[in-house]
Amino acid sequence: MELHLASMENVTCWAFRKLCHGVTDSYTGMLSMNYLIRRSKAWKEVDTFPIPNQRQWIQVATSKEKECSEFIARLQRELKEDSANNSLYGIQLNASCPSPNIVRLGQGPALIKRCAKVSSLIKELLKQDKYKVSLKVRLGMNAEEVKQRKLFALLEELEKISDSNFTNVAVHFKHAREQSFTPYNYDLLKEILSFKIPIVINGGIKNYKDFNNITKSLTNKKNLVGFMIGREALKNPDCFIEPNKILNNHSLPFRSQAQIKLEFLSLCKEHEPKSIYLDKIKEYCPWYN
């Protein structure tokens, strides 16, 4: 079972990703594809240095096929020139971030209703065979789109993509207008899993018990390949250890908060994050203080 550390803006630097033991897949913070194409300094946030037993993804936002092709060319050039940083496994297209600035650009969840557009973007990213490609979505832009089953129309379109490098769709089980305190709605999970697409679930999962409660009634879990944790990892970077042992039979030792902080500071000396990452981690993570 895949255990994904969610992309978190100004948090998921290399040091934080490596700090989370038991993770199988992790993501950079979401980056503007246009920004990466146009500005060399943007690549300082693409910190995909090696992490043993962890597949690293760059998460990007765009709504333009031309940007996809330009990004792929720039990505290959940048990582070739920086061989120490060339441990990238895949590219995830973000159709989930609810930021109004992202939505105004026609990106993020504004893409969910545009099935042909999303398929075209994914296919453009697949015009290379070095990196895997995935997609992160929500249930819709708003409650009306959920009722109109826009996500299901999108999944029907994505099901037609036969390229094996298109590895999964990560679904965040809220629509983009819901508040952080709104409960996650997994009522549609069973139907989502009926599509022949590997699915990673995201939302409200803190531990194995939460995952089991969400999935125990399912009779067909064939297309459920993993789940994603975000906020709980801020409080407890060891939150992946228990599910990794139960689901993957991989035992790792738990650490005290003091040990976690010392390890993080040591990792920061290896590859120093931008100051904003350190500021946010100090703000959000109780083990740092």
Give the whole-angstrom CA distance, residue 177 versus residue 146.
11
Three-state secondary structure readout of the chain: CEEEECCCCCCCCHHHHHHCCCCCEEECCCEEHHHHHHCHHHHHHCCCCCCCCCEEEEEEECCCHHHHHHHHHHHHHHHHHCHHHCCEEEEEEEECCCCHHHHHCCCHHHHCCCHHHHHHHHHHHCCCCCCEEEEEEECCCCHHHHHCCHHHHHHHHHCCCCCCCEEEEEEECCCCCCCCCCCCCCCCHHHHCCCCCCEEEECCCCCHHHHHHHHCCCCCCCCEEEEEECHHHHHCCCCCHHHHHHHHCCCCCCCCHHHHHHHHHHHHHHCCCCHHHHHHHHHHCHHHC
Instruction: Look at residue 180 in the predicted model and tell me its pLDDT.
Output: 86
Instruction: Look at residue 85 in the predicted model and tell me its pLDDT.
Output: 83
Give the whole-angstrom CA distance, residue 106 versus residue 71.
18
Amino acid in position 105: L
Instruction: Look at residue 83 in the predicted model and tell me its pLDDT.
Output: 82
Give the whole-angstrom CA distance, residue 51 versus residue 185.
33
Taking the chain (289 residues) in runs of 10, the rounded mean pLDDT of each run is 97 98 97 95 92 97 98 94 89 97 97 98 97 98 98 98 97 96 95 98 98 96 97 98 97 97 98 96 96
Provide φ and ψ at 121, rounded to 5°: -65, -45
Structure-block tokens of residue 206: 């803190």
Contact yes or no for 15/271 (Cβ under 8 A) = yes
Instruction: Look at residue 130 in the predicted model and tell me its pLDDT.
Output: 94
Given 2.102.10.10, 3.10.129.10, 3.40.50.720, 3.20.20.70, which CATH number is that of 2-288? Answer: 3.20.20.70
- pTM for this prediction: 0.97
Contact yes or no for 215/180 (Cβ under 8 A) = no
Residues in the chain, how many? 289
Contact yes or no for 145/113 (Cβ under 8 A) = yes
